[in-house]
Structure 1
């Protein structure tokens, strides 16, 4: 008996076979691009396993509606029916999850050895937990408990609003809205958080700052911008990444306050995992800047999750919980 779990983001497509105890027994990884079709990849994976899976759970970066999901940052749609056909099982055995619903499920079996705590440490008892992940997009999920049973709370927290924090930043937001009008929230100066707090948004944000300052934007993708900011070789990259980190800290702290995340607020995703250097004292100060509730925020554990398989593990946890399997330790 085996189960198929998957994690489909804007950059990577990961699949794994897990046994009845939840242990990974086989896996594969592919780029998420126009040449990679999930049903075909799943069919090939199942063929190599020489049998159909007992159940399937796939986490996808998009909103799941009526057994279908259109990926937020990739031009493709995935359906439960297509996956069932590819895996040669009944559609009722296939689960489609939002990627950060799965990320939230991963917190049910969080390995403290794969977390660097910026504040506090592992909670002694289960409590509400929040996970926020800047990657290709910005994902947010939460995990709460009903008695002893964990339950994930999906949402689209990556699309909450951001506004300028200073007069200087007004020009940056104006330039960003001009470059990328789709991310503007109504007719205000606000933009959706993902427009700045993601690998997709960072090049727009860097260009906006450069244009607002009347300077050339010489860098291309997010990786180059973060690298230049780390070495200090490009002043506008430093501004873009510094402000991004401050906004991310504020959003993370706000979400921790909303959920009452005594069990912790956790950062993950490709951008976070590849740029741990941004989580410095200034980041922590912005996370804890809560006015009359600053001490409340200071009591929240805050950690950086290093496990790249959090989506796969979360899909597994959700699948096992749905089938009343015991969650792996």
Structure 2
């Protein structure tokens, strides 16, 4: 007896087989852009296993509605019915989750060594927990307890508002909106948080800063921009990543306050995991800058989750809870 798990992000698609104890077995990883048909890909994985799984849980970067998900950063969609047919599994045994709903489920049990705490530490009592992750996009999820049982709260927190934090940044936001008008929220200078706090947004934010300053922007992609900032080789890369760090810390603290996250606020995702150096004093200062509630925010544990399997583990935790 085995179960099929999937984690479909904006960049990578991961599939894994687990047994009835939850232990991982066969795995496969593919670029999301190269996957033309998710049910077909899952069916090929199942064929390699030699028998259909008992149940399936797929975490996907997109809004899940009525057993169907449309991927946020790709013109693709999939349904539980399609997956059930392709993998020879009853439709009632197929579960689709938003990727950060699954990420939230990964917090139901945090293994020692999976989290580096930047502030505080594990809470011995179950308490609300928030997870956010800058990757291809920006995901947000939360885990709360009801009568002693965990329950995930999915949402699209990556699309909340960011606005300039200084007079200098006004011109940067104006340049970003001129280059990418669809991320503007309302008629002012607010943009979706994902427009800056993601691997997709960082290059545009960097170019907007350079354009506003009348300077060149020679660094081309998010990874190179982070590297240039860490090395101090490009002034606008330094400005872009310094503001990225402040914005990320501020939003993380806001979300911790909103959910009353006594169980901790956790940062993950490809961008965060590749650049742990940004989680410095400036990040924590922004996290804890809560005005009259600064002391409240300083009491919240803050952790960097380095486990690359958080999406798969969350899908597993949710699936087993539903089956129980």
1:291 is matched with: 291
Measured in 1, the distance between the counterparts of 2:148 and 2:25 equals: 28
Offset of residue 112 of structure 1: 2.8
Offset of residue 68 of structure 1: 1.3
2:181 is matched with: 181
Measured in 2, the distance between the counterparts of 1:129 and 1:148 equals: 14
Tell me how many residue pairs correspond in the alignment: 324
1:225-240 superposed matches below 5 A: 225-240=225-240
**Please, what is the CA RMSD of the aligned residues?**
0.8
Offset of residue 39 of structure 1: 1.2
Offset of residue 94 of structure 1: 0.7
TM-score (norm 1): 0.97
2:252 is matched with: 252
1:191-206 superposed matches below 5 A: 191-206=191-206
- 1:82-120 Cα shifts (integer Å, max 9, x gaps): 111111112111111000000000000111311100000
Question: Which shows bigger deviation, 210-219 or 25-34?
Answer: 25-34
Q: Which consecutive unaligned segments of at least 5 residues does structure 1 have?
A: 325-329
2:97 is matched with: 97
Q: Which consecutive unaligned segments of at least 5 residues does structure 2 have?
A: none
1:69-148 superposed matches below 5 A: 69-148=69-148
2:323 is matched with: 323
Measured in 1, the distance between the counterparts of 2:290 and 2:164 equals: 17
Measured in 2, the distance between the counterparts of 1:163 and 1:253 equals: 16
Measured in 1, the distance between the counterparts of 2:157 and 2:35 equals: 30
Q: Post-superposition, which runs of at least 4 consecutive aligned residues in structure 1 deviate over 4 A? A: none
